[in-house]
């Protein structure tokens, strides 16, 4: 067991190297071992490129017969951008496959492991399964629901206020957040802003950081409000933007043709249907969506249970300025409050970061 965990941890570490490059595919790492000697290793390096298992087996230079393959995700068994990994594994002469978790992709979902067993290859499933699922939490959500993994960031002072842009608080700034994301290796496909709370400089900082340079910026709100904010964006940066007006009847066809616009359904009270927005994002291959700002918008996402993970920054200042971080969530007793689960904490000189999953 300890031996298997050792090599699976190596495979998980390899898988992480693909973070930010494989979307909408999962991150996968693989290690080929024979008599405790590593013959080959590999990871899925980019979308459309060879899979981890194929790279690891190629590195074995024909010596894989009788060896054990450790992989962080069930090998694929269908033709996509690349041939099925199961065929490559069978042809290589691998004796045993140790897999962390099943691939929930409807085209795989147990079929890959079944095909290996049918060819006489021993299969063991579940080594470091929890860690493997955590690594690909975005992929698991997207492939099973066709909706993006929604993340919320909140930066606030001790008195519960959104940090005011006029205050020199580096901890709560977009710059600090983008640097932290870069360090953590997190990838964001798109950032959603409420036009009413949209800060041009904040978005500029995000787009200039390494992990956000190719991200879409989705701007939602009244058409005139969107345009007033959008005009402040430099022309070369506008290609990153998607506009989501909430008053479709006010858009003139000749105006709308100049920009990329998503037309989203509205509910009976004329507010945008957030689930429809997420479905559209999923159709556009957006696997991760960050809620960038707007207390009212963020509140609605939370009330409807549409947030998957929250990054909560609490700075060690009392500002007395700025808006409240959240609106009324409709909580009337503490037992009904949103609870963070599986939290991780990081302490900084300027404050505390809590990352967790809302119930």
| Active-site amino acid positions | 53
Tell me, rounded to whole angstroms, the distance of Cα 156 from its chain centroid: 23
Q: Which two tokens stand for residue 157?
A: 């002072």
Work out the end-to-end distance of the chain between its first and last CA atoms, rounded to an integer number of angstroms.
33
Q: In what order do the strands lie in the sheet with 96-99?
A: 37-43, 29-34, 68-71, 96-99, 122-125
Count of alpha carbons within 13 angstroms of residue 256, beta-carbon side: 13
């Amino acid at each position: 067991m300890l031996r298997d965990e050792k090599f699976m941890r190596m495979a998980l570490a390899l898988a992480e190297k693909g973070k930010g490059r494989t979307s909408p595919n999962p991150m996968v790492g693989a290690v080929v071992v024979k008599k405790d000697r590593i013959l080959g290793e590999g990871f899925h390096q980019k979308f459309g490129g060879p899979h981890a298992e194929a790279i690891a087996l190629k590195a074995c230079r024909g010596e894989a017969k009788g060896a054990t393959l450790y992989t962080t995700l069930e090998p694929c068994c269908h033709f996509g951008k690349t041939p099925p990994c199961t065929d490559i594994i069978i042809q290589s002469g691998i004796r045993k496959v140790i897999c962390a978790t099943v691939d929930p992709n409807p085209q795989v979902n147990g079929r890959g492991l079944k095909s290996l067993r049918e060819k006489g290859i021993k299969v063991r499933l579940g080594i470091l399964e929890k860690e493997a699922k955590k690594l690909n939490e975005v992929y698991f959500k997207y492939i099973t629901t066709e909706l993006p993994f929604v993340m919320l960031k909140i930066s606030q002072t001790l008195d519960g206020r959104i940090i005011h842009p006029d205050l020199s608080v580096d901890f709560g700034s977009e710059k600090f957040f983008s640097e932290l994301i870069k360090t953590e290796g997190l990838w964001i496909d798109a950032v959603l802003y409420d036009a009413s709370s949209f800060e041009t400089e904040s978005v500029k900082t995000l787009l200039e950081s390494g992990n956000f340079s190719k991200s879409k910026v989705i701007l939602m709100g009244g058409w005139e409000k969107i345009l007033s904010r959008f005009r402040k964006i430099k022309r070369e940066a506008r290609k990153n933007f998607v506009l989501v007006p909430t008053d479709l009847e006010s858009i003139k066809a000749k105006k709308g043709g100049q920009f990329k616009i998503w037309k989203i359904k509205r509910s009976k009270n004329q507010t945008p249907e957030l689930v429809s927005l997420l479905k559209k994002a999923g159709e556009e291959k957006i696997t991760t969506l960050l809620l960038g700002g707007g207390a009212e918008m963020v509140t609605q996402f939370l009330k409807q249970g549409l947030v998957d993970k929250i990054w909560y920054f609490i700075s060690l200042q009392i500002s007395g300025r700025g808006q409240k971080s959240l609106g009324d969530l409709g909580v009337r007793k503490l037992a009904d409050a949103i609870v963070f689960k599986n939290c991780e904490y990081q302490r900084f000189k300027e404050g505390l970061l809590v990352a967790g999953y809302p119930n």
